[in-house]
Structure 1
Amino acid sequence: MIKIYAPASIGNVGVGFDILGAAIIPIDGTLLGDFVTIKLSKKFTLVNKGIFSNQLPADTEQNIVWKCWLRFSRVIKKNISVSIVLEKNMPIGSGLGSSACSIVATLVAMNELFNKPLNSKELLLLMGEMEGEISGSIHYDNVAPSYFGGLQLILEDSEIINQKIPHFKNWFWIIAWPGIKVSTSAARNILPKKYTKEICIKNSRYLSGFIHALYSQQPDLAARLMQDVIAEPYRTKLLPNFLQAKEKIKKIGAISFGISGSGPTIFSITDNISIAQKISLWLKKNYLQNQTGFVHICFLDSQGVRKIG
């Protein structure tokens, strides 16, 4: 029996639409993500557990874990029966890479169970393909950080899909999920089909400057350049009181603020723990919409997917 954990992630990281992704872990060491436990069996079974298991489709064949098992079996050309338990701890449509958590944990578990027939690149390509099943297009900004950890730059070069890039280890990332759902496809459909030349240049300047600031270890410059001109101007209408929250959290002392993936989760950054705690408290009181919502102060998780036990 094999048990695998895959962490939650922040897609886009504000400035890097579909190009950047970061794995996260709460500073208290709590594992924020999904678990998959797998073993050989006489027939395929899938049991859903966890806080958000009630959000999963009732039909097993609509579950992304079943789809991952089927696709993996076809890739390695073996029809293998397994028993899988999915512990669904990430809310669906949260902007925290919920589907990526399940995909990464399942495919890594399958690969481990069958003595690693696929290498890491083959596995990542498969993860991107399965992510495309849900969002409608292949993208790696959640699966890559959940798999490899840290802050990932998605290259999609013919030889290299992604690379881990530096990050500031003293940054606290405060994430807040308000307890409501925003579908990835709806959040993508709200974006314009075309952007002006000026916006394209501005986005290139912010993104290239941000990556330069990471490599040259200029945290203040990096924070200032974390500006999203591609998605945030359009997606704010899908999020509760986004602009008011942004203004208030900047006043409290955040050095950066943005939408995690497609939203509605938001993230803010500070290098000061007392400011992080103040931001966390404000978000709990003012951004959460119901009892299921949550706020966590996080670091970036440099480890990524891992075997448990």
Structure 2
Amino acid sequence: MKSSVRVFAPATVANVVCGFDILGFAVEAPGDEVLMRRTHKPGVTIRRITGDEGRLPLEASRNTVSASVEFLLQHLGREEVGLEIELHKHMPIGSGLGSSAASTVAGLVAANELLGSPLKPLQLLPFAMQGEELACGSGHADNVAPALLGGFVLIRSYKPLDVVRLPFPTELHCAIVYPAVHVPTRDARQLIRSKVLLKDAVTQWGNVAGLVSGLFLNDLGLIGRSMQDVLIEPVRAMLIPDFYRLRELAHEEGAIGFGISGSGPSVFAFAPDEHRAAAITARLRQHLLSLGINSLGYVSAINAHGPKVLSHELV
């Protein structure tokens, strides 16, 4: 029986410009790690959290990692199990890169491992969504699904939950830049209109269908042409420093497409190779610095495998 396990879960890019709440993909870096141990005392406790600057709660019922693990134990009828959690944040909180999703997924995968893997990854998704609801008020799956399953994911339906893994061009790389500004997810969601014009909806449907088709057809041009958003991006762009200039610069460096990662403030661009993605990242960070804004940059292929068990101990 495993007595402890360490799990890494990846950051994710949700929405992918035109697919609000229904599209997302995982990246290789950054991500979060959870170290989980079996204990003799029943229940879930958080021993410590690093990398969060003291912002995350240690109370089990209020932390997305421990709360989602509690939901899992209740579902399995295993409340007698004792689990102790160490959460190590390696990505910014509130970055638009699925920070809470990565932590939650790492915790659920770790707990499932210590329990003997009774559930398959897809079966863990509802518990991860409960964690997302605790974190940002909405149990959407466009971060937790790709963090849990890896690759590119479409949430076809929420009721009933229907998740589809999509193919993608293996050469596709992602440039991600996180400007050091604060954009709370809850606030960003409140800016979104509850009603849209039919003509705008038709445009959006076409772009979502085009993006999914481009992934299946391995057509980078179609992917890029489809990465347009007439519903959400025009509102959220005002929260991102010099967003439209950043988009221009990304395209000048050869970006296939560009947009906001999740609710922001991170932005991302697709590139045809790692070299181009690195050039885009450097150019965007340089521009932000010229505005007096520090940033973090990441260059990554799409993460096809999702979480990783890094180590474990047996008793």
What is the TM-score with the length of structure 1 in the denominator?
Answer: 0.91
Q: Percent identity?
A: 33
SS at match of 2:54: helix
Map of 1:78 onto structure 2: 78
Are the aligned partners of 2:45 and 2:66 in contact in 1 as well (CA < 8 Å)?
Answer: no
Are the aligned partners of 1:23 and 1:151 in contact in 2 as well (CA < 8 Å)?
Answer: yes
Are the aligned partners of 2:60 and 2:67 in contact in 1 as well (CA < 8 Å)?
Answer: no
2:300 to 281, 288, 298: 298
Distance 1:290 1:81, change over 3 A: farther
Q: Quick one: distance in 1 between partners of 2:112 and 2:219? A: 39
Whether 1:46 and 2:42 are equivalent positions in the alignment is no
Deviation at 1:272, TM superposition (A): 4.3
SS at match of 2:263: coil
Distance 1:245 1:175, change over 3 A: same
Are the aligned partners of 2:69 and 2:127 in contact in 1 as well (CA < 8 Å)?
Answer: no
Are the aligned partners of 2:14 and 2:143 in contact in 1 as well (CA < 8 Å)?
Answer: yes
Map of 2:137 onto structure 1: 136
Whether 1:63 and 2:71 are equivalent positions in the alignment is no
Deviation at 1:47, TM superposition (A): 2.9
Q: Quick one: distance in 2 between partners of 1:277 and 1:162? A: 31
Are the aligned partners of 2:46 and 2:59 in contact in 1 as well (CA < 8 Å)?
Answer: no
Q: Quick one: distance in 1 between partners of 2:47 and 2:88? A: 9
Q: Quick one: distance in 1 between partners of 2:159 and 2:64? A: 27
Amino acid at match of 1:110: A
SS at match of 2:46: strand
Map of 1:194 onto structure 2: 195
Distance 1:113 1:56, change over 3 A: same
Map of 2:9 onto structure 1: 6
Amino acid at match of 2:7: I
Map of 1:19 onto structure 2: 22
Q: Quick one: distance in 2 between partners of 1:58 and 1:9? A: 24
Are the aligned partners of 1:55 and 1:91 in contact in 2 as well (CA < 8 Å)?
Answer: no
Are the aligned partners of 2:224 and 2:257 in contact in 1 as well (CA < 8 Å)?
Answer: yes
Q: Quick one: distance in 2 between partners of 1:131 and 1:88? A: 16
Amino acid at match of 2:210: G
Are the aligned partners of 2:18 and 2:207 in contact in 1 as well (CA < 8 Å)?
Answer: yes
Q: Quick one: distance in 1 between partners of 2:273 and 2:63? A: 41
Deviation at 1:162, TM superposition (A): 1.0
Amino acid at match of 1:265: S
Tell me which moved more, 130-139 or 46-55. 46-55
Deviation at 1:113, TM superposition (A): 0.8
SS at match of 1:253: coil
Map of 2:255 onto structure 1: 254
Distance 1:287 1:58, change over 3 A: farther
Map of 1:229 onto structure 2: 230
SS at match of 1:116: coil
Q: Quick one: distance in 2 between partners of 1:131 and 1:49? A: 18
Q: Quick one: distance in 2 between partners of 1:48 and 1:265? A: 27
Tell me which moved more, 230-239 or 151-160. 151-160
Runs (5+) with no aligned partner, structure 2:
none
Whether 1:126 and 2:127 are equivalent positions in the alignment is yes
Are the aligned partners of 1:53 and 1:88 in contact in 2 as well (CA < 8 Å)?
Answer: no
Deviation at 1:268, TM superposition (A): 1.0
Are the aligned partners of 2:66 and 2:85 in contact in 1 as well (CA < 8 Å)?
Answer: no
Amino acid at match of 1:93: G
Tell me which moved more, 40-49 or 137-146. 40-49
Are the aligned partners of 1:175 and 1:265 in contact in 2 as well (CA < 8 Å)?
Answer: yes
Distance 1:299 1:274, change over 3 A: closer
SS at match of 2:187: helix
SS at match of 2:124: helix
SS at match of 1:155: strand
Map of 1:28 onto structure 2: none
Which one has the bigger strand percentage?
A: 2
Deviation at 1:77, TM superposition (A): 2.1
Aligned residues: 303
Tell me which moved more, 168-177 or 127-136. 127-136
SS at match of 1:262: coil
SS at match of 2:201: helix
Deviation at 1:252, TM superposition (A): 2.5
Distance 1:273 1:3, change over 3 A: closer
Deviation at 1:69, TM superposition (A): 2.8
Map of 1:207 onto structure 2: 208
Runs (5+) with no aligned partner, structure 1:
26-30
Map of 1:307 onto structure 2: 309
